[in-house]
Amino acid sequence: MATKPRSEAGPRHVAIIMDGNGRWAQSRGRPRLFGHHAGARRVREIVAACPDLGVEYLTIFAFSTENWKRTQTEVAGLMSLFRRYIIKEMQEFVREDVRVRFIGDRYRLEPGLRKLMEEAEQMTAHCTRLNLTIAINYGGRDEVARAMRRLARDVAEGRLDPETVDEQTLPRYLDTRVLPDPDLVIRTSGEARISNFLLWQSAYAEYEFIDTLWPDFTRDIFARVLAQYGARDRRFGAVSA
């Protein structure tokens, strides 16, 4: 089977596990939320950089299904940060032609935040310059479980023949159903794990684990990581041409 020999072009879909906000704040003797606020400012910078760098899809991990285990203060602070971030950025997204989507189980989020998420999705539905997907209360296993629930319901109600279920079926039930698979997954802060992010979708993604803490992740570092990707040989199980 013919396969793309070497990707000279940059990645089309980049997914980022934005990690290290807490450590960044702690190293400055500040509360963890201080780091989350600094991290949100970096999100703005990285989103703005994407179109020039050839990135069409950016998917960022903002809050995992496991992050509820944190203190009530941190969780509430993060939820309030998400609300403020969406309110503040909504007009900017429209101006910059950025289409926003959210993945994750939004039904566990408070109604006010959920409403803002829906508004942002509707207001930017016509935008095409960048597809920004924000993962809030997202977990790869939870996403697959929710997808299986819907799939099972379709089988039970006669809309889906179980004999036809194959590798193309499940993606249609995932939160990411309209997105291509990520080409490159970046994790900041030096941890080499994926912490339940895009499990199904990243089966053939390239990974970059970099030591920089998320609030220090600049546009220049981002550009460098993307350039390195261009030198990788993605074989998808085949042999290089």
Contact set with Mg ion (CB under 5 A): 19
Q: Does 62 participate in binding ligand IPE (rule CB under 6 A)?
A: yes
**C-alpha 215 chain-centroid distance:** 17
Set 52, 67, 137, 181: catalytic member: 67
Closest approach, Cβ 35 to ligand IPE, in A, equals 6
Q: How far is the CB of 158 from ligand IPE (least distance, A)?
A: 39
Residue 37: both structure tokens together: 């606020």
Q: How far apart are CA 144 and CA 166, in angstroms?
A: 14
Instruction: Tell me the C-alpha distance between 156 and 150, whole Å.
Output: 10
40 binds, among ligand IPE, Mg ion, none (CB under 5 to 8 A by kind): none
- Per the annotation, the verdict on 137 as an active-site residue is no
Binders of ligand IPE in range 70-89 (CB under 6 A): 78
The region of 61-69, 79-87, 109-117, 125-133 touching ligand IPE under the rule CB under 6 A is: 61-69
Task: By CB under 6 A, tell whether 28 contacts ligand IPE.
Answer: no
For Mg ion, the closer of residues 19 and 143 by Cβ is 19
Structure tokens at 236: 């998808």
CA distance linking residue 125 with residue 100, whole number of Å: 7
Which residue lies nearer to ligand IPE by CB, 84 or 129?
84
* Residue with smaller CB distance to Mg ion, 11 or 77: 77
Binds ligand IPE by CB under 6 A, chosen from 34, 57, 61, 217: 61
Contact (Cβ atoms closer than 8 angstroms) between residue 137 and residue 62: no
Helix, strand or coil, per DSSP, at residue 14: strand
**Which residue in 7, 51, 56, 67 binds ligand IPE (CB under 6 A)?**
67
Q: Is 63 in the site for ligand IPE (CB under 6 A)?
A: yes
67 has catalytic annotation: yes
Reduced DSSP (H G I as helix, E B as strand, rest coil) percent helix, strand, coil of the chain, to 5 = 45, 15, 40
Q: What sign does the dihedral 119-120-123-126 (CA atoms) show?
A: negative
Cα–Cα nearest to 213, from 77, 20, 6: 20
- Residue 102 sits in the site that holds ligand IPE (CB under 6 A): no
DSSP calls for 119-170: HHHHHTTT--SEEEEEEEEE-HHHHHHHHHHHHHHHHHTTSS-GGG--TTTG
CB of 219 to Mg ion, least distance (A): 22
Number of residue whose CB is nearest Mg ion: 19
Residues of this chain that bind ligand IPE (CB under 6 A): 17-23, 61-64, 67, 78, 189, 191, 193, 195
